Amino acid sequence: MGHGHEERHFMGQTGAWEIFETAGLITKLHQSTAVWARIVTPRHASTTWFFMHQKLPVKCRMARFTTQGIKLKCELCGEAEEDMNHLFFKCKWAREYWQVIHRWLSSSIDTNSMDIFLHSIRKLKGSRGMRMIAYAIIAAVIYQIWRIRNEKIISHHQLPVQTQCKHTKDHII
Residues lying near Zn ion in the complex (CB under 5 A): 74, 76-77, 91
User: HSE on the CB side for 155, CA within 13 Å?
Assistant: 7
User: What's the CA gap between 95 and 117, in Å, rounded?
Assistant: 13
State in angstroms the smallest separation of the CB of 3 from Zn ion. Answer: 29
| Nearer CB in complex with Zn ion: 79/115 | 79
User: Nearer Cβ to Zn ion, position 58 or 136?
Assistant: 58
Q: How many helices (H) and strands (E) does the chain have?
A: 10, 0
Minimum Å distance from CB 78 to Zn ion?
Answer: 7
Smallest separation (angstroms) from Zn ion to the CB of 167? 20
Q: Is the dihedral of CA 154, 158, 159, 165 positive or negative?
A: positive
Nearest to Zn ion of 7, 96 (CB atom): 96
